[in-house]
A and B are shown apart, each in its own frame.
Chain A
Amino acid sequence: MITERQEELAALHAFDLLEAAEKLAFVTELAANPELQVLVAQLAATAATLALSGAQLNPPAELKQAVLAACSASSLIQTDKPMDAKIVSFSFFKLIPWAAAATLALATAWFARESTMLRDENSALRTERQLAEVAYKMAQNQLSSRSLLAEKMIASLGDKLHRAEDLARLKVTALASLAGNTKEAQVIAVWDPEQQLGLLTMEKLPAIADTQDYQIWIVDPAYPNPVDGGVFHVSQDGRVILPFKPAQPVARAAAFAISLEKKGGVPVAVGPIVLLGK
């Protein structure tokens, strides 16, 4: 089935009016279409008859001799050298293999060009990706370093803050001697209200009889009597570090006191207060 478009191309081809690209495409199509080949051959033969459409002129008489002489000369030349390299196409049949070769060459060139372009593009993209990866890793390292530094700074600040808070929270009180025999004593009480724990550091506290104990008291306005902080015994002068814990929860440690009581202590202080500090 020949389409109108094919017939048009065949007619233009018969008059050699196709553009180079059109011609290449048409000849390629022609090679695969026997029906089209028949049509093209018929149209070419018809077109050739147009040579007779004008007035028929007799060529000059001398032309025949010139032609014969030229052919003789070319015969002599042919024995010495190859035929004239210039080839004039005769019919579309001769164009088919050339067109196929040209198509293949163009396709090869096109693919080679595309391949080169893609290879270059691929290489550029790979380089770009590698650079991006390097930049990413550098950024990641920087971020990691900064993060580590920040963590350390935060931890350090936290520690400082924690220590500051601890110090702020702790109540440190120096207890003063209220009895003549303890005037050289140096006692410091440290109170942690959050943990409800205390620590006494005592030096040169006089030794007492085995039947007696020192008893610690925490003065809290919330209670009518000082809160019992426990008892301890000093058998000889020396340095004592003693943790203590109140018998009742202490809301506010207003003062600390140490009294001299009977062995084992008493619920409410009855003996003399030997040391007191606010």
Chain B
Amino acid sequence: MTDPAPSPIGDEAQAHEQARLLAAMAIGEQAALAQLYDSLAKPLYSLAFRVLNNASEAQDVVQDVFVQLWKKASSYEQSRGSVFSWAVTLTRNRAIDRVRTRKRRAELLAESAPDIQPMTLNGGHDSAHSLWLQEKAAAVRGALAQLGPDQQKAIELAYFSGLTQQEIAVTLNAPLGTIKARIRRGLRQLREIIPFHL
């Protein structure tokens, strides 16, 4: 088995704390669940909303994900990735499943393009975790901004839209091979930038 991938979202203490909470959840500690919710709810909800562009559905997705984490906590293995990555992957998959189920990809794509959010931005309490999250989010946005516009658009569509390779190519009016290359180069560049800035 290979070494675990470095957690690009935060320091080791943060990743370790989330793993500890999950371990506690595995033995039924609801307090740990509440703590993990405080740690992850914001990015997970933001992601779900970004994909779905619907607050109600985003809430449903986040709730489903936490229930899933609660049920599957005992199966988590830290060696296979961070809790953050797992939770994000679960959220994205569920959100994209809903997008595909709704068969409204084109509309959602048009609607999700502008980065306008109906909810309060960064509202609420400024806890230590919130500040940490703001810092990381800014770093990721900064890294994404370093990509060329074409790469950035291809990456965003690949991650948030739920479109297939071919659909992304059609949407961006580019050959499929070009889209694949943009995604490959874009993600490689992000990998090189983010771990060294966080």
A residues with CB within 8 A of B: 4, 7-8, 11-12, 14-17, 19, 34, 37-38, 41-60, 63-64, 66-68, 70-72, 74-75, 78, 83-84, 88-91, 93-94
B residues with CB within 8 A of A: 1-9, 28, 30, 33-34, 37-38, 41-47, 49-50, 55, 58-59, 62-63, 66-68, 70-72, 80-82, 84-86, 88-94, 96, 115, 117, 119-124, 133-134, 136-137, 140-141, 144, 155-156, 158-160, 164-165, 168, 180-181, 183-184, 187-188, 190-191, 194-195
A45 lies within 8 A of B85 (CB)? yes
Task: Among A11, A16, A67, point to the contact of B188 (Cβ < 8 A).
Answer: A11
Main secondary structure on chain A at its contact with chain B? helix
List, in ascending order, chain A residues with CB within 8 A of B188's CB: 7, 11, 43
**A235 CB to closest chain B CB, in angstroms?**
129
B37 lies within 8 A of A43 (CB)? no
Bound CA span A138–B61, Å = 78
A-B contact pairs, 6 of them (CB 8 A): A8-B184, A17-B158, A37-B2, A38-B2, A49-B140, A58-B119
B71 lies within 8 A of A54 (CB)? no
A15 lies within 8 A of B62 (CB)? no
A12 lies within 8 A of B180 (CB)? yes
List, in ascending order, chain B residues with CB within 8 A of A71's CB: 30, 33, 66-67, 70
Bound CA span A54–B144, Å = 10
List, in ascending order, chain B residues with CB within 8 A of A38's CB: 2-3, 5
Task: Among B63, B124, B133, point to the contact of A70 (Cβ < 8 A).
Answer: B63
A42 lies within 8 A of B80 (CB)? no
B41 lies within 8 A of A64 (CB)? yes
List, in ascending order, chain B residues with CB within 8 A of A53's CB: 137, 140-141, 144, 156
Asked whether A90 and B90 contact (CB < 8 A) given A41-B5, A56-B133, A71-B70, the answer is yes
Task: Among A15, A19, A55, A66, point to the contact of B63 (Cβ < 8 A).
Answer: A66
Please name the 5 residue pairs, one residue from A and one from B, whose CB atoms are nearest each other, closest first.
A41-B5, A59-B45, A52-B137, A51-B47, A71-B70
B93 lies within 8 A of A89 (CB)? yes
Closest to A4 in B: B184
B8 lies within 8 A of A54 (CB)? no
List, in ascending order, chain A residues with CB within 8 A of B89's CB: 44, 48, 89-91
Bound CA span A84–B30, Å = 19
**B161 CB to closest chain A CB, in angstroms?**
10
Known A-B contacts: A8-B184, A74-B67. Give 10 more (CB < 8 A). Answer: A43-B191, A45-B81, A48-B9, A48-B89, A50-B144, A50-B160, A52-B9, A58-B124, A66-B63, A67-B66
List, in ascending order, chain A residues with CB within 8 A of B50's CB: 54
A50 lies within 8 A of B140 (CB)? yes
**A209 CB to closest chain B CB, in angstroms?**
135
A15 lies within 8 A of B67 (CB)? no
Closest to A54 in B: B50
B183 lies within 8 A of A11 (CB)? yes
Bound CA span A75–B33, Å = 12
Bound CA span A91–B156, Å = 20
Task: Among B84, B90, B158, point to the contact of A88 (Cβ < 8 A).
Answer: B90
Task: Among A17, A50, A55, point to the contact of B121 (Cβ < 8 A).
Answer: A55
Bound CA span A12–B89, Å = 14
B3 lies within 8 A of A68 (CB)? no
Bound CA span A15–B1, Å = 22
List, in ascending order, chain A residues with CB within 8 A of B88's CB: 48, 51
List, in ascending order, chain A residues with CB within 8 A of B155's CB: 50
Asked whether A59 and B41 contact (CB < 8 A) given A49-B9, A71-B30, the answer is yes
Bound CA span A217–B56, Å = 144
Bound CA span A53–B141, Å = 5
Bound CA span A253–B195, Å = 133
B34 lies within 8 A of A68 (CB)? yes
B30 lies within 8 A of A68 (CB)? yes
List, in ascending order, chain B residues with CB within 8 A of A34's CB: 2
**B16 CB to closest chain A CB, in angstroms?**
16
Bound CA span A38–B3, Å = 7
B30 lies within 8 A of A72 (CB)? yes
Closest to B181 in A: A8
**B125 CB to closest chain A CB, in angstroms?**
9
Closest to B183 in A: A11
A78 lies within 8 A of B47 (CB)? no
A88 lies within 8 A of B165 (CB)? no
**B129 CB to closest chain A CB, in angstroms?**
12
List, in ascending order, chain B residues with CB within 8 A of A60's CB: 55, 59
